[in-house]
Structure 1
Amino acid sequence: MLRIALPNKGSLSEPASAMLHEAGYLQRKDARELVLVDPQNNVEFFFLRPRDIAVYVGSGRLDLGITGRDLLLDSGASAEEIMQLGFGRSKFRFATRPGTAKDVSEFGGMTVATSLPGVVAKHLADRGVDAAVVRLDGAVETAVQLGVAEVIADVVETGTTLRNAGLEIISDPILESEAVVVRRIGAERDEPRVTQFLRRLQGVLVARSYVMMDYDIRAEHVDKAIGLTPGLESPTVSPLHNEGWVAVRAMVPRSEAQQIMDDLWEVGARAILVTDIHACRL
């Protein structure tokens, strides 16, 4: 039985469970459940603190896990990233009071407060910067105001929270994170159960990124139309009962669907329909 760790709570929990549900796996109905067996798919799910997942997977106790790239790297566990999942994206950056420093190279002798001390310590060491690192859980932007540190390293989205605390973002991002699938370093790469699990997740990612587009068009305009909708390999073209007309079906990027519909209309396509793709294998 494949044993997989999932986030028990936090920003990754619901998106991870939703993706697995779309992939056909049983998911818990009660957030208090910590272990869930899916007998149909021969999988056992363990709901753990996101920060602990890489440790359990790296130890070999569990086969796979879904956690953040930032937490994987901070853990120092013997685990590696094998698939990006496209949600939970964030940037991890330095911030300090205006005038304190303009670049990481000026942090020497200062103290940096962060919730990811492993990531920050390695980042500073790789750049030859001798600075102390203090771990704080929760909001770290008050660390400068309270005199715990001169610099903080934190997840940044818009930067509004940091600006409200009188801080400014400096230097390039330390890390760009997102939800990832992790496994133990050295684990068998082509293990059939793992391959099947990853294939299902990849199918969900593709289904979320594409839609199916159907339309009718006169045969003499097909070449122009399929130039707009080439599909993944090639579109399906079928003759219609009305002579001189064909039906075309192709997968198109979801983000471009509306523009493609406009362009198809201009080259003579009619009865243009777009439908969601719930699952696929490519």
Structure 2
Amino acid sequence: MLRVAVPNKGSLSEPAVEMLREAGYRQRAARHELVLVDADNDTEFFFLRPRDIATYVGAGQLDVGITGRDLLLDGHSDAEELLPLGFARSTFHYATVPGTAASVDDFAGKRIATSYPGIVRRDLDARGIEAEVIRLDGAVETAVRLGVADIVADVVETGATLRQAGLEVLGEAILHSEAVLVRDARGGPPSPQVEQLARRLNGVIIARQYVMIDYDVRVEAVDDACALTPGIESPTVSPLHDKGWVAVRAMVERKQTNRIMDELWELGARGILVTDILACRL
């Protein structure tokens, strides 16, 4: 039986559950359920704290798990990233009071407060910088004002919270994070069940990024139309009863849909229809 760790709370939890549900796996009906067996897929789900998931997977107690790349890299487990999942994206930055440091190279001897000491220490070591790393749980943006630290390292979305604390982002991002599927790095190749789970999740990711477009176009314009909708391998082109027209079907990026529809219309295409893709294997 495949044993899978799922985040029990936080920003990773609901998107992970929804993605697994879209991938065809049974998911819990109530938040208090901590273990769930999906007999149809021979899979058992364990709902755990996101920060603990990499530890359980890396120790070989669970086969795979969904957690954040930041949480994976902050720890010292033997888990490794298998598949990025495309949600819960975040960026990790240093921030400080203007004038404290001109660049990261000026951090030597400074105090850096963070909830992710593993990530910060790894980054500093890679740069050859000696600095004191202070671990704090929860919000760290007040650490400078309270005199605990000179610099903070934290997840930055809009930067509004940091600006309210009188801080500014310094330098390039330390890490770009998102939800990831992880497995034990010490094992051999992924098992067939793990590969199947990864394929299903990847199918959900692609289905969310693409739509199916169908349209009719005159034969003389079909090459130009297919250049707009090349599909994955190539579009499907079928003759219509009217010998001067063909029907075309192809996958296109969801975010490009309206632009492509406009350009197809200008080429003379008609009967342009767009439908969602619920699942796929490519």
Same fold (TM over 0.5): yes
SS in 1 for 2:256: helix
Q: Distance in 2 between matches of 1:190 and 1:109?
A: 44
Please state how far the C-alpha of 1:281 moved relative to its aligned partner. 0.7
**Deviation string, structure 1 residues 65-86 (Cα, Å, up to 9, x no partner):** 1000010011110110011001
SS in 2 for 1:145: coil
- 1:1-282 map, 5 Å: 1-282=1-282
SS in 2 for 1:208: helix
Q: Distance in 1 between matches of 2:185 and 2:149?
A: 35
Q: Give the AA of the match of 2:192.
A: P
Q: Distance in 1 between matches of 2:236 and 2:127?
A: 54
Please state how far the C-alpha of 1:189 moved relative to its aligned partner. 1.6
Q: Distance in 2 between matches of 1:237 and 1:60?
A: 49
SS in 1 for 2:71: helix
Please state how far the C-alpha of 1:190 moved relative to its aligned partner. 3.9
Please state how far the C-alpha of 1:148 moved relative to its aligned partner. 0.7
Q: Give the AA of the match of 2:107.
A: F
- The sequence identity of aligned pairs, in percent, is 65
Q: Distance in 1 between matches of 2:190 and 2:117?
A: 34
Q: Distance in 2 between matches of 1:80 and 1:224?
A: 44
Q: Distance in 1 between matches of 2:232 and 2:105?
A: 47
Q: Distance in 1 between matches of 2:15 and 2:26?
A: 14
Q: Distance in 2 between matches of 1:75 and 1:186?
A: 16
Q: TM-score, normalised by structure 1?
A: 0.98
Please state how far the C-alpha of 1:99 moved relative to its aligned partner. 0.6
Q: Distance in 1 between matches of 2:245 and 2:128?
A: 68
Please state how far the C-alpha of 1:150 moved relative to its aligned partner. 0.7
SS in 1 for 2:144: helix
Please state how far the C-alpha of 1:242 moved relative to its aligned partner. 2.3
Please state how far the C-alpha of 1:115 moved relative to its aligned partner. 0.3
Q: How many pairs align?
A: 282
SS in 1 for 2:41: coil
Q: TM-score, normalised by structure 2?
A: 0.98
Q: Distance in 2 between matches of 1:226 and 1:64?
A: 40
Please state how far the C-alpha of 1:186 moved relative to its aligned partner. 2.3
SS in 2 for 1:122: helix
Q: Distance in 2 between matches of 1:168 and 1:233?
A: 46
**Deviation string, structure 1 residues 48-67 (Cα, Å, up to 9, x no partner):** 10000000000000000100
| 5+ long unaligned stretches in structure 2 | none
Greater mean deviation of Cα atoms: 234-243 or 209-218: 234-243
Please state how far the C-alpha of 1:191 moved relative to its aligned partner. 1.3
- Name the Cα RMSD after superposition: 0.8
SS in 1 for 2:33: coil
Please state how far the C-alpha of 1:219 moved relative to its aligned partner. 1.4
